[in-house]
Amino acid sequence: MTTDVTTKSAGTHAATLAGTNWAGNLSYSAHGVVRPTTVAEVRDLVLAAGAAMADAASGAPAGTARLRALGSRHCFNDLADTSGLLVSLEDLEPVAAGHLQLGTTAAGIPTVRVSAGTRYGDLAAALFPLGLAVHNLASLPHISIAGAIATATHGSGNGNQGLGGAVVGLELVTGTGEFLTLRRDEEGPVPFDAAVVHLGALGIITHITLAVEPTFDVRQDVYQDLPWASLEQNFDAITGAAYSVSVFTRLREDAADQVWLKSRVDALGETGDLGYGDDFFGARRAAVALHPLPGISAENCSEQLGVPGPGHERLAHFRREFTPSNGAELQSEYLVPREHAVAAIAAVRALRERIVPLLQIIEFRTMAADGLWLSPAGQHDTVGLHFTWLPRQTEVEALLPAIEAALAPFDARPHWGKLFTTDAARLAELFPRLGEFAALADGLDPAGVFANDYLDRVLGR
């Protein structure tokens, strides 16, 4: 086990200040980070935390003994925070050191089992020489697998589920120190679909098994200035025009700024031609590579201009070699059943005057229903209305209720890892199994080792 330099005592372990999240808008209130290198060490930490919380005689406030697993720090809210100690799995069987176990499901689907702190980009790079690939990626390849599935992180594609859809196995240490292995194709003590989007509430996940597939090539083409009327009339055709489609807008009056098409080359026929030429539903082909934001160089973006290449180097918007340590931005996202896409986009456009002063960029993406209890796409094929904001949190949070009200008729569900103001009562309506999930979490973590303010807030505790 490695720990940061000692400043404060935390049971048998010691640590320094926990630092901030990626965006820098949250300084973790945790009193440090520990980095176990074995599953046994993870269990020891949990048992020590549970014992310290039960030991009223110690005189320490129970909250300081708490734990919370930490992924790659990319959440914009306090989901990953704790009044106790953060547990990073960065040093637990890293993929870079060759820790990766291939297998198959009972149905013969290839799988890979890795340490839960593995970042998607590192996994994809390690799988590629083995002829294997993950089905999709988020916009950034630097996020951890356990942290991504915790919040139902997704990429895009009418036929693509979010990243949690590929999870077929989870191994975790619960709040009582019990080892639990859950498999999608086996009945277990916890419903599998309840455990994938886990909000960090069920335990420390040590390993994750993902369904993978043979590698595939992707070409990325960008079109500019998609007229709003065209998007409204052709929404399904546009979002279905490639394996993964993103529409970017700064809410100009006339048109959406960019459409990014990520097309699987094996679906394009022998010529590999996209079939749209210079005109894509009224948008024109970009002649040079573009960043989603005007005036910013595309050098950190994944390759465009239709050059085919490995899918894992095209599906994320940004290159893995480009490792931003933090970003001057905030994010929110609301996800609505796809049948409401056009109306929901119109509702957002109607708030243009209030949104634009705080906006960097909006992105629309689609995802297929996945059946996961806390996934915003649990029951429906879904469209995500994503907002990248300027780093002006007070003003952004003052605006969010207006956006949430405008999208309420469409049952918009917030992204768990981004900024939102939806309260517990409304969340319980939007996620009908939230109460059952809370009961499950209480059962696996009766002492509240993994409890934090965020969970108290969203679970209405």
Ligand X SMILES: Cc1cc2nc3c(=O)[nH]c(=O)nc-3n(C[C@H](O)[C@H](O)[C@H](O)COP(=O)(O)OP(=O)(O)OC[C@H]3O[C@@H](n4cnc5c(N)ncnc54)[C@H](O)[C@@H]3O)c2cc1C
Min dist. Cβ of residue 195 to ligand X (A): 10
Decide if residue 143 touches ligand X (CB under 6 A). Answer: yes
By beta-carbon proximity to ligand X, the closer residue of 3 and 300 is: 300
Q: What is the DSSP letter of 83?
A: S
Residues 13, 284: Cα–Cα separation, whole Å: 58
DSSP 35-70: E-SSHHHHHHHHHHHHHHHH-GGG-S-GGGG-EEEE
Query: Contact with ligand X (CB under 6 A): which of 153, 239, 249, 332?
Result: 153
Decide if residue 205 touches ligand X (CB under 6 A). Answer: yes
Residues 15, 22: Cα–Cα separation, whole Å: 20
Decide if residue 147 touches ligand X (CB under 6 A). Answer: yes
Decide if residue 139 touches ligand X (CB under 6 A). Answer: yes
Report 292-331 residues binding ligand X (CB under 6 A): 327, 331
Q: Which residue of this chain has its Cβ atom nearest to ligand X in the complex?
A: 147
Residue with tokens 């056009």: 342
Min dist. Cβ of residue 418 to ligand X (A): 6
How far CA 332 is from CA of 52, 110, 162, 269, 389, in Å, comes to 37, 34, 17, 38, 8
Decide if residue 376 touches ligand X (CB under 6 A). Answer: no
Residues 6+ apart with CB under 8 A from 362: 248, 249, 250, 251, 348, 355, 385, 386, 387, 388
Number of chain positions touching ligand X (CB under 6 A): 35
Q: Which region, judged by CB under 6 A, interacts with ligand X, from 196-204, 281-289, 293-301, 402-410?
A: 196-204
Q: Which region, judged by CB under 6 A, interacts with ligand X, from 148-156, 285-293, 373-381, 394-402?
A: 148-156
Min dist. Cβ of residue 233 to ligand X (A): 27
Residues 6+ apart with CB under 8 A from 239: 156, 158, 245, 247, 341, 364, 366, 383
Q: What share of the chain is helix, strand, coil (3-state, %, to 5)?
A: 30, 25, 45
By beta-carbon proximity to ligand X, the closer residue of 228 and 344 is: 344
Decide if residue 151 touches ligand X (CB under 6 A). Answer: yes
Residues 10, 214: Cα–Cα separation, whole Å: 45
x/- binding map, residues 58-97, to ligand X, per CB under 6 A?
A: ----------xxxxxxxx---xx--------x--------
By beta-carbon proximity to ligand X, the closer residue of 230 and 366 is: 366
For the record, the structure tokens of 370 come out as 């996945």
Min dist. Cβ of residue 24 to ligand X (A): 10
| Residues near ligand X (CB under 6 A) | 22-23, 68-75, 79-80, 89, 116-117, 138-140, 143-144, 146-148, 150-151, 153-154, 199-200, 204-205, 327, 331, 415, 417
